Amino acid sequence: MNSENEALPTLRELENQVLAEGREWTRQRLQQKLQEQADRHGGVFPPERKEGLASAKKNNAPAKRRRRH
């Protein structure tokens, strides 16, 4: 039997552990699928930047403009 010093994990702890394992499995599966697709198409993301091209200009307008009522 378990000694009194060994605390059993709570239901919440077990749930969190299983959810974390599920997220990691899903992340790895998604990575695998995306890599397979990238390999099939031969592309790299983000695309490599070509020499001599200017970068996009920044928009100098304020992010939010006040509305006039």
- Along the 69 residues of the chain, how does pLDDT read in single tens digits? 556 668 999 999 999 999 999 999 999 999 999 999 888 888 666 667 778 766 666 665 565 666 665
CB 2 within 8 A of CB 8: yes
Per-residue CA distances from 33 to 14, 26, 47 (Å): 29, 10, 19
The set of residues, in sequence order, having a beta carbon less than 8 Å from that of 17 and lying 6+ positions away, is 9
Is position 56 within any domain? no
Torsion angle (degrees, nearest 10) of CA 28, 34, 35, 37: 150
Q: Which domain holds residue 30?
A: 11-43
Q: How many domains does the chain have?
A: 1
Q: Is residue 48 part of a domain?
A: no
